[in-house]
């Protein structure tokens, strides 16, 4: 995926779960960590972190 994104001519922005493997794969892009609450659960809100990655 990172290779495909590196080759595009336009701009991109996507979010994905914050795990070490994603940080390593996407280290050549701009990465911002965001905190949020997942709310689509019968157990209520769950705190989470995601990465917003772009070029």
pLDDT in tens, the chain (55 residues): 888 888 999 999 999 999 999 999 999 999 999 998 888 767 778 888 999 999 9
Q: Return the closest-CA partner of residue 48 out of 20, 39, 23.
A: 39
Prediction pTM value: 0.78
Give the distance, in angstroms, between the CA of residue 21 and the centroid of all CA atoms in the same chain. Answer: 11
């Amino acid at each position: 995926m990172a290779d495909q994104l590196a080759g595009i001519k336009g701009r991109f922005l996507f979010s994905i779960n914050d795990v070490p493997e994603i940080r390593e794969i996407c280290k050549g892009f701009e990465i911002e960590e965001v905190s949020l609450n997942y709310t689509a659960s019968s157990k209520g809100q769950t705190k989470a972190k995601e990465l917003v990655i772009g070029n």
